[in-house]
Structure 1
Amino acid sequence: MNTLRATALLIAVFLLLPAAALAGQEGPEAAGEVLELSVEEVALLALQNNRDLRVQRLNPVIAGTFEQIERGAFDTELFAEAQYAEERASEIARSTGTQFAVEGSDTAAVAGVRRFLPTGTTLEGSVEQSRSISNRAPEQQLARVGLSVTQALLRGFGPAVNLVAVRQAELGTVASRYQLRGFTEALLAEAEIAYWNFVLAREQIAIFESSLAVSRQQRDEIELRIEVGLLPEVEAAAARAEVARREQALITARSLLEERRLRLLRLLNPAPEDGYEQRITATTEPRMKAEPVRDLAERLQLAEKMRPDLNEARLLLQQQRLETVATRNGLLPRLDFFITLGKTGYADSFSGSFRELDGNTYDLQTGLRLSHFIGNREAEARHLAAKTSRQQAQESLDNLRQLVRLDVRLALNELERARQQIAASAVTRALQEETLAAEKERFEVGASTALLVSQAQRDLLASQIVEVEAIVNYRTALVNLYLAEGSLLERRGILLGS
C-alpha cells in the first residue's frame, strides 16, 4: 500500500467509535501467512485493534455521564403523598359530665411538582385534598391549591455558584478527551518506533549474514593457502574465530528480531490466541532525506497549544478556580426569602370543595429564614483547601509548561544529533571499506596477517551497524519530536471523533 492510500485510511479513523463498531475490522492475521506492513499500515492497525486503546476509548463516555448526573439536580421533581387516619375514643362532656363515644376518620392526599433553578430559587406547586368524617360533626372536604417560592439571598445565590459542579463535570469530560488524545499519541509513537526497531533488527541481520558469508569465504581461502603451504597454520585460528563471532552475533540478532516482532504484534493486537505466529515483512524503507530543523520557536508555540497534558493541566486549574467560587460562597450565612400562597375551598363533597376554590378564602405566608454556624470552621477549612489546591494547580501548570519546552528542545537536539550521525557514519563506513580492502591487499602480498584482516572486517561490520542505527534513530527521533510538540496525530492525518 502506498503512502497516499495509507494516509487516506488513517484520516478515516475515529477513535471514539464504540468498540463494537470496530469489531468487524480484520486483524493482522487476515493478510495471510506473511503480513506485509508499511509504517502507515502499522499506525492504522494499532489504532483500530489495540486493546489498551479500546479500554481508554470508554473513559470520555464515562466522564460524560457525570455532566448529566450534576445537571440532574435541576430536574423537575414530581411528588405525592396520601394518608389515612381513623380514631375511636371516649370523651366526657364538661358541661354535663356525660361520657360519649367519638368515632371519625381523616383522609388526605397531596401531589405537586418541585424544581430547583440555577439562580438559587426553589419553586413548588401543589394540590391538596382532605376529608374529615366524625360522628360529632358533619363531613367536611377541603381542597387547596398552593404555590411556594424560596429564593437564596446569600449562600447558594446565583448561577455562578449553583452551576459549579456542572461546569467542573464539563471540564472533566474535556480533560478525559485530552487524556485519550495523549494515550493515543503515545500508542501511535510506540507503534511507529516498534516498527522501526523491527526494521533495524532486520537490517542488522542482513549485515550479519553478509559479514558471516565474507568471513567464511575468508576462512576458506586461508585454509586453502595453509594446505598448499603459502601460510602457516597459526593464521587459521583468527579466521575461524572471526566466523564463530559472526555466528554468535547472528544468533543474537535473530533473537532480537523475534522479540521485536512479538512486541509489534502485541501493539497491533492479533485477534486469535495464536496470532503471535504471524510473520511480518516491513515494506517501508528507513532511509529518508534528513534536513536540519531550525524553527524552534514555532515548535515551542505548537507544543504550548497542542500538548494534551498541558491542556489537561489548564482544565484542572479551571476546575480549582470553580471550586474556590463554591467554597467562598460557603462562608456566607444562609438567608432565604420565602413566600407561600394558597387558595382553599371547603364543602361537604369532593367536587364541591374544588368548586369553592374561586371563593374569597386564601392563605399567604412570607418571610426570611436565617442560619449560620458560629465560627464556621468547616467552611473556612474547605475554602483554605480550595485556595491552596488552586495555587498548587497553578504551580503544576507552570512547572509542566517548563518541562514541555524542555521536552521539545531535547527532542530537537536528539533529532539533530541523529541527522548529523547519518552523514558521519556513512563516511566512517566508506573509510572502513577502504581500510579492509587495503588490509586484504597487504595480506595478499604477505605484508599483513589474518588477524589484522579480521579486525578490519569487525571494524567495517561495526560501522555498518552504526550507519543503519543512525538512520533508524533519525526516524524515531522525528517521531519523538512530534510527540513532544503534541502534533503526531495531525501529522499522521488522524482525526479524533467527538
Structure 2
Amino acid sequence: MPPIRTRYPMKTQFHQAWMLVLIGSVIFTGCQPTQPFYFKESGDLSLYLDKATDIEYPDVDTHRLEEVQNTEAPFTISDPFEMDESQIWNLTLEEAVADSLKNSKVIRTAGGNAVFRVIPNTTLPSQAIPTTLTVRNDAMPTIYDPALVSSNPQFGVEAALSEFDAQLNFNTNWDRLDRPQNFQTGNPFFLSEFGQNLFTANAELTKKAATGTQFSLRQNNTYDYNNRTSLIYPSSWLANVELEARHPLLRGSGVQVNRVNVMLARIREDVSLADFETNIRNLVSDVEEAYWQLYFAYHNLEAAKIGRDSALVTWRRVRALMDNGTEGGEAEKEAQARQQYFEFVSRTEAALRDLYKAEGSLRYFMGLSATDGRLIRPATEPTDAWVQFDWYDIHDEALVRSPELRRQSWRIKQREIEMITARNQLLPQLDVVGMYRFLGLGDQLISGDRSGRNFNQVNSKAWDVLTEGNYQEYTIGAQFSMPIGFRQELAGVRNVQLQIAREKAVLEDMELEVSHLLTDTVRDLDSNYNLVQSNLNRLIAANKEVDSVQAAYDVGTVTLDLLLDAQRRRSDAQIAYFQSLINYNIAIKDVHMRKGSLLDYNGVYLAEGPWPEKAYFDAQGHARRRSASHFLNYGYTRPGVVSRGPVPQGTITAGMYEEGEIIVDETYSEEGEYIPTPAKSPTSLDAVSLEPPAATQVADGSTQSKSELDWNKLGLTKLVSEVRGKNGASRPIPAGKTQPRRVVESASHESRKNSTPAKTAATPSGWQAAKR
C-alpha cells in the first residue's frame, strides 16, 4: 500500500501567513477603525457641523426708531459752548411731560419704586442714564401691560368667563368584532363565532350655569350589525335624546362661589392698572426732576463762568503789575491768582460736563434722540413762593390716593375672595342628578318622510319611533362624598387666613411708611424754602462783599487773597442758592407724589385706549337687546361688591390754599405802617433784608421789591417782596395789632384758568397717559 500523504503542513503554513497579515494590520491600523470605509465617497462634507450651538442673529423684521437712526455726534466739553439761537431748544416743563408721555410705550424710569425710596440730594449722578431697560427688559413696564393681563388666555376675565360658555362635543367610533365563542358547536342558541359591526355617534352640548348647575343635551346614535340568529333583522339603529341636569347642593353651589375666578381675574386687572398708574407717576416724577436738574446745571455753569471771568480779570491785573515790577505784582500773588483762575476753569469744564449729562438724562426720559444738533434749555422758571399744605388734608389724601396702598388693598380683597372658595371646600359634595331620555329602535336611522312603521317592522325608522314618544326613560338620583376629617380643606382655610393677616399687616406698615415719607417731604419743603431765603441773603451779601473788596483792593487797602476769597464765596453762594431753589421745587413735586396727586399736579389723565369699531357696534347691540327685554331682578344671585367705584382724576388738590397769591412775611406797626422784617436769632431761617426794599410795579397790579441784585439777569422772580392787594393798596391791618401775613402761590404747572385735564389719545393696544 502506498503511503498516504496529507496536506496539513501546507495548510498550517497558510494559516500562519494569514495570522501574520492580521497581526500586522492590527498593529499598523489599531484595534478597530475609527471611521467606516465607503467605496463611493464624494468628499462633499457640507452637512458636517463641528459645534452644536453658535451665537447668531435672529431672523426678525424690526425697524429702528427715527430717534435712533438719526442720532448725531454728541456735544463734548472740547466743543465750543457758544451756540446760536437755532441750536437752543427752549423747552417748558409742560412740553417735557407731554413729550415723555407720547414717547413712552415702554415706561422709562430711574428704577425702583419712586414712592418708597428716599429722594437723594440733587447733585448730578455719574451715571445719568439708567440701564434698567437694557439689563432687565423683560421686567420693564409698558402701556400694553393692563391689556396683556386682561387678554391673558388663562387668567384674564374673558378666560374666567369662558368657564360658563357652552361646549359642543362630537364623537364617532366604528368597531369590528370577529371572535370565537366558548360554546359547543351545534347548539342552536349559541354561536361558535361572533361577528359584529358596531358604529356609535354622540353629539353633546353642555352648559354650566352661574349657580353651579351643569346642563347637558346629548344625542346618541348606535348602529349594530351581528350574526345572532335570534334577531328580528340583522342590523338595527338605536337613537336617543337625553337631557341631564346636575346641581350641587353644598360644595360648589351658589353664584358667588362659581364666580370667584371671574372676580379674581377682575382684581388682577385692577392690580395691573394700579401698577400702570404707579409707573406713569414715576416717569412724570423723573421727568420733572431731570428738568430741574438741567435748570440747575445751566446756572451752575453760569456761576462757574462768572467766577472764571472774574478770576481771569484779577489774574491779568496782577500779571500786568508783575510785568511792570510794581507793588502788588509779586510772584506768589501772581501764582495765587493764576491758581484760582484754573480752579474756576476746571469748575467750568465739570459744570459743562454735568450739563450735557443732565440734558441727556432729560432726553432719555422724554424718549428723544440722544443728540439732534440742539441743546435743550429749560424755559419754565422755578417757583420761589412759599407753597403751604394743610397737614391733615394731605395726610388723609396720601392714605386714600396712593396707588401702592390701593394695590395692596386689592391684594387683601383677593385673599378675601379666595377665602370664599377655601371655606366652600369644607362642605361635603352633595349633587342631585336628573336625566330624561327619549329613544327609538328601527331597521334604519332616519328618512325624509315618515313611513309609519314601528320598531319591529322591516324598514322601520329609529327617529320615527323616537319622535313618537312611546319609549321614555328617566333617572333621578343623588351623589354624596365627603373626606373624613377635612384635613386638606382645613389647612387651606388656615393658609388663606394667614395670607389675609399678612396682607393687612403689610398694608398697615405701608400706611405707616407713607405717613413717615410724607412727614419727611413736608419737612424738606419747609427747610428748602428757608434755605432758599438764607442762600438768597448769602448771595446778596456775597455780591456786596465782592464789590466792597474790589473797591478796597483798587485803592490798596486790602490784599489779593481777600479779593480771591470773596470771588470764590460769591460763586459758591450763587451755586448754593440755585441748588436750594431746585431742591425746593423738587420738594413741592415730592409732596404731590407722596400724597398721590402728582398726575393731577402735572395735568395727566389716564384712560383706556380705543377699541375697534366692531367692539362698539357689538356693545351697542347688546345694550339695545337688554333695553328691549323684560327686567328680572336677580340681585340675590349676584356676587358681593368688589370695588367702591372709580378713582377720581383731575380733582382739585386738597390741602392747598387759593391760587394767585405769593407767600411772604409782613409786619405792620400799630398805625398800619410797613416795617421790614428784622434780623432774627441764629435759630431762625427767614430771609433777612437789611434795608427797606424799593417797591416796583408788576404786571398784575401788585408791587414787588427790588433788591440790589439784578434778578432780571438771573431770570427769577423776586423772593423778598412787599405784596399788596389787587388794587395796589396795602392790605389794612387792624390798629393795635401786628401780624405776619402768609399767602400761597398755587403749585400747579397747568394754566390757572383751566384745570380740567384732557383725556388721552391712546393707542388700541392698551392704556396710555396724556398731557393736556
**Structure 1 length-normalised TM:** 0.89
Q: What SS is found at the alignment partner of 2:289?
A: helix
- The equivalent position to 1:349 in structure 2, one of 427, 444, 452, is 444
Q: Distance in 2 between matches of 1:400 and 1:433?
A: 48
1:57 aligns with 2:143: yes
Q: Distance in 2 between matches of 1:26 and 1:41?
A: 21
Amino acid at match of 2:143: R
Q: Distance in 1 between matches of 2:197 and 2:503?
A: 64
CA contact (8 A) 1:51 1:269 kept: no
Q: What SS is found at the alignment partner of 2:470?
A: coil
- The equivalent position to 2:347 in structure 1, one of 231, 249, 259, is 249
- The equivalent position to 1:68 in structure 2, one of 158, 181, 195, is 158
After TM superposition, give the deviation of residue 324 of structure 1 in Å: 0.9
CA contact (8 A) 2:105 2:143 kept: no
Q: Distance in 2 between matches of 1:325 and 1:303?
A: 31
Larger Rg over CA atoms: 2
Q: Structure 1 residues 453, 146: closer, same or farther in 2, change over 3 A?
A: same
CA contact (8 A) 1:67 1:169 kept: yes
Q: Distance in 1 between matches of 2:243 and 2:300?
A: 84
1:186 corresponds in structure 2 to: 282
The 5 Å alignment of 1:267-282 reads 267-270=365-368, 275-276=370-371, 278-282=373-377
User: Paired residues, what number?
Assistant: 474
Give the alignment's Cα RMSD to 1 decimal.
Answer: 2.5
Amino acid at match of 1:265: R
- The equivalent position to 1:104 in structure 2, one of 183, 196, 220, is 196
1:374 corresponds in structure 2 to: 484
Q: Distance in 1 between matches of 2:180 and 2:529?
A: 106
Q: Structure 1 residues 27, 443: closer, same or farther in 2, change over 3 A?
A: same
- The equivalent position to 2:421 in structure 1, one of 326, 348, 355, is 326
Q: Distance in 2 between matches of 1:335 and 1:409?
A: 57
Q: Distance in 2 between matches of 1:132 and 1:69?
A: 42
Amino acid at match of 1:425: N
- The equivalent position to 2:390 in structure 1, one of 288, 292, 295, is 295
Q: Distance in 1 between matches of 2:271 and 2:86?
A: 41
1:460 corresponds in structure 2 to: 570
1:15 corresponds in structure 2 to: none
CA contact (8 A) 1:128 1:145 kept: yes
Q: Distance in 2 between matches of 1:47 and 1:201?
A: 24
2:219 corresponds in structure 1 to: 127
2:37 corresponds in structure 1 to: none
CA contact (8 A) 1:35 1:278 kept: no
Identify which range, 444-453 or 424-433, moves more after superposition: 444-453
Q: Distance in 1 between matches of 2:310 and 2:494?
A: 75
Give CA deviations for 1:403-432 in whole Å, capped at 9, x if unaligned: 122222211221111112222111111111
Amino acid at match of 1:37: L
Q: Structure 1 residues 32, 85: closer, same or farther in 2, change over 3 A?
A: farther
Amino acid at match of 1:465: I
1:177 corresponds in structure 2 to: 273
CA contact (8 A) 1:308 1:486 kept: yes
CA contact (8 A) 1:201 1:256 kept: yes
After TM superposition, give the deviation of residue 347 of structure 1 in Å: 1.8
CA contact (8 A) 2:222 2:238 kept: yes
Q: What SS is found at the alignment partner of 2:499?
A: helix
Identify which range, 73-82 or 85-94, moves more after superposition: 85-94
Q: Structure 1 residues 91, 289: closer, same or farther in 2, change over 3 A?
A: closer
Q: What SS is found at the alignment partner of 1:332?
A: coil
CA contact (8 A) 1:130 1:142 kept: yes
Q: Structure 1 residues 410, 325: closer, same or farther in 2, change over 3 A?
A: same
Q: Distance in 1 between matches of 2:508 and 2:395?
A: 15
Amino acid at match of 1:305: V
CA contact (8 A) 2:252 2:258 kept: yes
CA contact (8 A) 1:144 1:343 kept: yes
2:357 corresponds in structure 1 to: 259
1:17 corresponds in structure 2 to: none
- The structure with the greater share of residues assigned to strand is 1
1:16 corresponds in structure 2 to: none
After TM superposition, give the deviation of residue 25 of structure 1 in Å: 11
CA contact (8 A) 1:28 1:45 kept: no
2:250 corresponds in structure 1 to: 154
Give CA deviations for 1:342-397 in whole Å, capped at 9, x if unaligned: 11112222122111122331111111111222233322222211111111111111
Q: Structure 1 residues 267, 411: closer, same or farther in 2, change over 3 A?
A: same
Unaligned runs of at least 5 residues, structure 2: 1-61, 73-84, 109-140, 447-460, 609-772
Amino acid at match of 2:169: F
Q: What SS is found at the alignment partner of 2:606?
A: coil
Q: Distance in 1 between matches of 2:210 and 2:274?
A: 29
Q: Structure 1 residues 100, 249: closer, same or farther in 2, change over 3 A?
A: closer
Q: Distance in 2 between matches of 1:24 and 1:440?
A: 54
After TM superposition, give the deviation of residue 52 of structure 1 in Å: 3.0
Q: Distance in 1 between matches of 2:185 and 2:367?
A: 96
Amino acid at match of 1:60: P
Q: Distance in 2 between matches of 1:101 and 1:433?
A: 121
After TM superposition, give the deviation of residue 232 of structure 1 in Å: 4.8
Amino acid at match of 1:480: D
1:41 aligns with 2:127: no
Q: Structure 1 residues 467, 192: closer, same or farther in 2, change over 3 A?
A: same
Q: Distance in 1 between matches of 2:199 and 2:464?
A: 19
After TM superposition, give the deviation of residue 341 of structure 1 in Å: 0.9
Same amino acid, percent of matched pairs = 19
Give CA deviations for 1:99-137 in whole Å, capped at 9, x if unaligned: 654333221111020112221111100111112222322
CA contact (8 A) 1:28 1:269 kept: no
After TM superposition, give the deviation of residue 151 of structure 1 in Å: 0.7
Q: Distance in 1 between matches of 2:157 and 2:371?
A: 42
Q: What SS is found at the alignment partner of 1:350?
A: coil
Amino acid at match of 2:291: Y
- The structure with the greater share of residues assigned to helix is 1
Q: Distance in 1 between matches of 2:531 and 2:70?
A: 35
1:361 aligns with 2:471: yes
